[in-house]
Structure 1
Amino acid sequence: MKKLTQENAPVLEALEKLKQMRIVPFDVPGHKRGRGNKVLTEFLGERCLSVDVNSMKPLDNLCHPVSIIKDAEQLAAEAFGAAHAFFMVGGTTSSVQAMILTACKRGDKIILPRNVHRSAINAMILCGAVPVYINPQMDKTLGISLGMSIKDVKKAIADNPDAKAVFVNNPTYYGICSNLNEIIKMAHANNMLVLADEAHGTHFYFNDKLPAAAMRSGADMAAVSLHKSGGSLTQSSMLFINDKISEGYVRQIINLTQTTSGSYLLMSSLDISRRNLALRGNKIIDTVIDLVEYARSEINNIGDYYAYSREKINGDSIYDFDITKLSIYTRSIGLAGIEVYDILRDEYDIQTEFGDLANLLAYVSIGDRPRDMERLVSALSEIRRIYKKDSTGMLEVEYINPKVVLPPQDAFYTNKEESIPLDKACGRVCTEFVMCYPPGIPILAPGELVTSQILEYIHYAKAKGCQMTGPEDMELNNLNVVTEK
């Protein structure tokens, strides 16, 4: 048997062989290579439907890989500098949850920034872990949360020596990185694991112009969204671990929640994207960097907008910055980021990643072209000319320090719950999530106290057009809270 190299794509190669075989499918899926659903086949194409297949001997099994998936995962581990890799078909949400469920059991503490994705808090609801939040510092001008300062991490570790792990965003949605290497050093010195949410950091592994990548820096586990900046299909992700974590135990944890019907469309896209990045990633990402640097310069020349970059680095809470992130401050033209987002989509047919109350994020990756950047820059210039107004009266965005009253699991599963009008919830303990999506960072999470500042923020975000998600009442007129004694 020949030695596999990064030129190989075992899942892809196995599917190509399968297509050459004359197998009669008396198994699932029921569309039987597309023959049973003509409309779907016409929409997606016969080539796609012909490889939307179930686990079988030539194709291995995602729940217990022993052949081609195992080979593909090992190539991924080598490409990303990990001991083991796991193909994940439930998005990086499932990867983040697997990390926390591996590190923590009921009652265990985990140190983490409050600006985590909801998947991290969901994991604490599932396993009963108790959060020790490090409140990230705030850039009051931009209205964004920053990274974790080393001083705050050090204090959290000293105050909670029994914590099992430290969780790090690498980077944040806006491209901001904490001092990952120092955090790993401190955590390991205190026998704590380091878990990295690298949903937006796939490209860090393949270009030395970018911030430190978690697995190459010595983190214990990392959740990486190849579908975001790596080019794979939506919902495909990878989980990486070092050699100090039990591969078998992590697989058991993953199999608690991940489907037994792993999609070969998603797995082959991971395999193909890993190969592409391993062989050509440095050059591809250089092109992305050049595109973003060009757009950033042009946007800053328009006036009023501020497309920020490494000049924001302060050596601590902004230890490094991902220069592929095109994050744009919009309040200076009198518009919230979500308002610019809506105008770009509705009037210019430009779909950006998200807008918040002060910023817009245009996600740039391996599929973007120079002419697309020109169109974005031109549209932003027109929006400034047509829509600019006085910014007086806009809400000053500040980080809201959460008051955690109950562990997330206790609050979410409480049998003492009632639904009350949102405006009457001040002073009560929330039992559900409230967040703007994207990015899916909770404004309120189960177990947190509802304050007047939070209510003001929610009303302002709703008025500006932010998509509010999480609560049982999808209109967010009512909120579920713990019943008062």
Structure 2
Amino acid sequence: MKFYEFNIKRKSKIALHLPAHGRGPGLAPGLKWLLNCRPATWDLPELPAIGGPLESKGVVAYSQRIMAERWGADHCWYGVNGATSMLQVALMAMTSPGDRVLMPRNIHRSLINGCILARLKPILFNIPFDPYTGLWQLPDAENFEKILIKIGHIAAVVLIHPTYQGMAGNLTSLVEKSHQKGLTVLVDEAHGSYFAVVPDELPKSALASGADLVVGSLHKSAGGISQSAVLWLQHERVKASRVELALYWLQTSSPSAALLASGEAALNYLASEPGYRNLKRSMKLGHQLRTDLSCAGFPLVVNQDPLRLVLHTAGLGITGLEADSWLMAKGLIAELPEPGCLTFSLGLSPDKRLAKVMLPILENFQEQLLGLPLSPFMIPPFPDTIELELCADIAWCPKKEVISLEVATGRIATETLCPYPPGIPILYPGERIDAKRTLWLQQQHSLWPMQIPSMISVIVE
């Protein structure tokens, strides 16, 4: 079967994975209309009437201005290279080569790649880790303030809100503490763009929390198609011209008209009354499914996003990766398998019969399990902060060799070790590996054997 035939013909019983449109039902109405037209008719270049993200005239420029006003930002840019590119654009716009940037340990790999491109010096700060679920938790505001005091001069801060698994908290406090130190704040909001739409039920959005730059992924948290993204800018800490220069460097010079339209349609629908009603309906179904599964005895991880359902598989005596393999064979496809959990993305238009279809599969799955809950995971042996010896020279270092994890103690990594998804590296280029890290990395290899290799690349010393 050809690739395009595979994509069209392949059906699953329950597809609870991204994109959030759920293979169509959750698409923004304007985008549905567009996709029903003959594809070749909307594969258009940057004609004068259309323009593009960096043009001052045309419908794209007009749309970006209107959307910024509608969502409460000073500026808005549509992205066609995904949130990955927009995060790198934002990072480059708010810094200069050689700057030190503070980031949480669980940043997406795209940001560390952005540091390589922009020749920045990332400083990673540790965050709480739950050994029972194997998940990173939210930064502690008090500890974050202490880090800001002792870290020395930095140019900017990067934060994540919410996490991939839908955990969110008091982002406003972290932003305020950063601004009090005169720092620019970028928030990776790839998994929670719609937080601004329902402020009475969800934590504040990154824009409402005061962040200077915010990146949203519109296929993860809105009714857009893959690779459509948005970058918001507010306040005066970063000039719009800096963002546009970075976009000029990093974005394609031939942006897809379909992806630009996807960005507009997704954001426009979310901010509309019909979009709000649909979102509220979807969240109500998410709350009900959570209740139904809990009442049936399934352990769920507490989070703040009703459209991210996280099954604590370790509590059932099985890894998330093994559970995912079993459930996928039964037609239930999750979004994110991890050693201790399995995350389902309910999307923006979940079927109201979801519980009736999902519960029998999970109950049959549970009947196959005879083991006790898994032992707690080893807490990552990270210091409160670590400054990477990272620059393009190390990332592209020609003097490197590949060695076994067993003999990695004392060596400096030149490449990223990163299970994908979720795309959060467990080892960064420029990190020196101590004995505790060596043991932990070997354990990670045993947990993610298909994702984490037993051999790594290090600098020749």
Number of residue pairs matched by the alignment: 426
**CA–CA separation in structure 2 for the residues paired with 1:359 and 1:224:** 24
Determine which of 362, 365, 375 is the counterpart of 1:383. 365
What secondary structure does 1:442 align onto?
coil
> CA deviation digits over 1:281-302, x for unaligned, max 9?
3222212221221121222223
Aligned-residue CA RMSD in angstroms? Answer: 2.3
Q: Percent identity?
A: 26
- Point out which structure has higher relative CO (alpha carbons under 8 A, 6+ apart): 2
CA contact (8 A) 2:442 2:454 kept: no
Determine which of 236, 240, 245 is the counterpart of 2:232. 240
The match for 1:195 is 186
What secondary structure does 2:426 align onto?
strand
**CA–CA separation in structure 2 for the residues paired with 1:408 and 1:349:** 44
CA contact (8 A) 1:426 1:450 kept: yes
- Report the CA distance shift for 1:376/1:400 in structure 2 as closer, same or farther (over 3 A): farther
The match for 1:288 is 282
- Report the CA distance shift for 1:74/1:53 in structure 2 as closer, same or farther (over 3 A): same
CA apart distance, 1:415: 3.6
Matched, 1:478 2:461: no
- Report the CA distance shift for 1:380/1:439 in structure 2 as closer, same or farther (over 3 A): same
Matched, 1:184 2:175: yes
Determine which of 376, 381, 399 is the counterpart of 2:380. 399
Matched, 1:268 2:245: no
Structure 1: gaps (5+ residues): 1-11, 17-43, 311-320, 470-475
Matched, 1:436 2:419: yes
CA apart distance, 1:309: 2.6
What secondary structure does 1:434 align onto?
coil
Matched, 1:224 2:216: yes
Matched, 1:159 2:150: yes
The match for 2:207 is 215
CA apart distance, 1:105: 1.8
Determine which of 33, 45, 61 is the counterpart of 1:54. 45
CA contact (8 A) 1:54 1:262 kept: yes
The match for 1:40 is none
CA apart distance, 1:404: 4.7
The match for 1:23 is none
> CA deviation digits over 1:428-461, x for unaligned, max 9?
1111011111010001110113355555555555
What is the correspondence of 1:106-185 to structure 2 with a 5 Å cutoff?
106-185=97-176
Structure whose CA Rg is larger: 1
Give the residue type in structure 1 aligned to 2:262.
S
Structure 2: gaps (5+ residues): 1-29
What secondary structure does 1:335 align onto?
coil
**CA–CA separation in structure 1 for the residues paired with 2:423 and 2:180:** 32
TM-score (norm 1): 0.82
CA apart distance, 1:160: 3.3
**CA–CA separation in structure 2 for the residues paired with 1:373 and 1:276:** 27
CA apart distance, 1:332: 1.8
TM-score (norm 2): 0.86
Give the residue type in structure 2 aligned to 1:380.
L
The match for 1:326 is 309
> CA deviation digits over 1:294-348, x for unaligned, max 9?
1212222232x321336xxxxxxxxxx3333211211122111111111111x21
**CA–CA separation in structure 1 for the residues paired with 2:330 and 2:363:** 12
The match for 2:8 is none
